[in-house]
Amino acid sequence: MKKIEIPSAGSYDKLKIVECEDLTPKAGEVVIDVKGIGINYADVCIRLGVYESAKKYVGWPITPGFETAGVIKEVGEGVTKWQVGQEVVAFSFFNGYASQVCVPETQILNVPPQFSLMQAAGFPAVFFTAFHALYHHVVLRPNSKILVHSAAGGVGTALTQLAKMAGHKVVGVIGSSHKREYLEQFGPDKIIDKSKEDLWKEAEAFSPEGYDIICDANGYTTMLDSYKHLKPAGKLLVYGAHSMLSKKGGRLNYLKAGIGLLKTPKFNPFDLISNNKGVIGFNLSFLFGEQDLILDCVSKLEEIFKSGKIKPIPITEIPFEEVAKAHQFIESGNSVGKIVLKI
């Protein structure tokens, strides 16, 4: 089998393809011959050496990758739910950038009926993130107003779809005009193109009283304004800080990151009480031990996909060998939907 290994933090040249022994499943595990691998912005953070859970749980060298789709090659002792030859989707805590993955049987899902195998490779991370955000962290009141930053990205598309499916009003923010047409197909109530429009003036015009939920992975560039635009009892969901990183060059710009860190707002709990608002941070990759939450995402999302109310997220396929191109693309901030590596 082959896998992509990153020996130490750095640019695209650190994404090395290495040959290694085929995998053998232990009891309760399944080995999958991988056909597609979902790329996530987090993989860029891993390569740059700024992803905390990668440093804590794996170290260097590391094979990134949270999601794959393929065909079951072998099942370990005691596995009864899955059979050799079945097409499936798997989520893994790292090690997904490989031609084979070995995961516990509980980390496997059926390919949703409306998804191709390649589209399926790109759904677990972003839909788990969106589901976890909207259903494990907040109580969604009927007709909530939800503002989603980077709404045409992977997580943004999943958030937009789940929120619309549940009948809420969604404002999707995009950073470049070419993303508007893409986002329109998922039915947000308003799109704000912050490259051309005044983001907060437009957001206020749509909802002068503010928002119930704001989903923000930008970091310091919008975090404080997002907080200010919450309604009483509103919640700011924070799950990333991509504006601290560079869009090109492939390297960590320490000055940019340092300035971003210094400018990141600090929230005083007494202010949260008197403003009657909440700030919630989370990271799925630290959910290793919280199997109940993961399994809840798996079962509820399987039901949601079966209902046919969710459209597959459009993908850009890039060959496995061109992984550097995939990293460059997601890092540029220009991609829409999901990028999937094809083996």
Ligand X SMILES: NC(=O)c1ccc[n+]([C@@H]2O[C@H](COP(=O)([O-])OP(=O)(O)OC[C@H]3O[C@@H](n4cnc5c(N)ncnc54)[C@H](OP(=O)(O)O)[C@@H]3O)[C@@H](O)[C@H]2O)c1
Under a CB-based contact definition with an 8 Å cutoff, are residues 48 and 55 in contact?
no
Angle in degrees, CA 17, 21, 23, rounded to 5: 105
**Count of Cβ atoms closer than 10 Å to residue 215 Cβ:** 30
Among residues 243, 278, 294, 305, which is the contact residue for ligand X, using CB under 6 A? 243
- Identify which of 226, 193, 198, 191 has the alpha carbon closest to the alpha carbon of residue 210: 226
- Residue 2 β-bridge partners: 19
Residue 289's contacts (CB-CB under 8 Å, 6 or more residues apart) are none
Among residues 34, 217, 301, 341, which is the contact residue for ligand X, using CB under 6 A? 217
Total residues at the site for ligand X (CB under 6 A)? 31
CB of 294 to ligand X, least distance (A): 12
Under a CB-based contact definition with an 8 Å cutoff, are residues 64 and 29 in contact?
no
Stretch that binds ligand X, among 87-95, 106-114, 181-189, 237-245 (CB under 6 A): 237-245
User: The tokens 């049987």 sit on which residue?
Assistant: 105
CA distance linking residue 171 with residue 189, whole number of Å: 6
User: Phi and psi for 96 in degrees, rounded to 5?
Assistant: -80, -20
Nearer to ligand X (CB atom), residue 30 or residue 127 = 127
Tokens of 70: 């393929």
The answer to whether 215 contacts ligand X (rule: CB under 6 A) is: no
Among residues 101, 120, 125, 162, which is the contact residue for ligand X, using CB under 6 A? 125
Among residues 9, 283, 324, 342, which is the contact residue for ligand X, using CB under 6 A? 283
CA dihedral 304, 305, 307, 308 (to 10 degrees): 140
Tokens of 164: 């619309």
CB of 75 to ligand X, least distance (A): 29
CA distance linking residue 299 with residue 74, whole number of Å: 24
Give helix then strand counts, H and E, for the chain.
12, 15
Nearer to ligand X (CB atom), residue 108 or residue 330 = 330
Spell out, one character per residue from 34 to 63, where the chain touches ligand X: x when CB under 6 A holds, - when not. ------xxx---------------------
Among residues 146, 174, 236, 323, which is the contact residue for ligand X, using CB under 6 A? 174
Among residues 126, 313, 318, 340, which is the contact residue for ligand X, using CB under 6 A? 126
Nearer to ligand X (CB atom), residue 200 or residue 282 = 282
Among residues 89, 213, 245, 252, which is the contact residue for ligand X, using CB under 6 A? 245
Stretch that binds ligand X, among 54-62, 79-87, 88-96, 242-250 (CB under 6 A): 242-250
Tokens of 292: 């109940």
Stretch that binds ligand X, among 112-120, 122-130, 269-277, 308-316 (CB under 6 A): 122-130
Secondary structure (3-state) at 340? strand
Stretch that binds ligand X, among 2-10, 151-159, 204-212, 295-303 (CB under 6 A): 151-159
The answer to whether 178 contacts ligand X (rule: CB under 6 A) is: no
**Exposed e or buried b for every residue in 23-34, given b needs 16+ CB within 10 A?**
bebeeebbbbbb
Stretch that binds ligand X, among 1-9, 79-87, 277-285, 317-325 (CB under 6 A): 277-285
Among residues 154, 172, 188, 234, which is the contact residue for ligand X, using CB under 6 A? 154
Report the interface residues with ligand X, using CB under 6 A: 40-42, 125-126, 129, 149-150, 152-156, 174-176, 179, 217-218, 239-240, 242-243, 245, 247, 282-284, 330, 333, 335
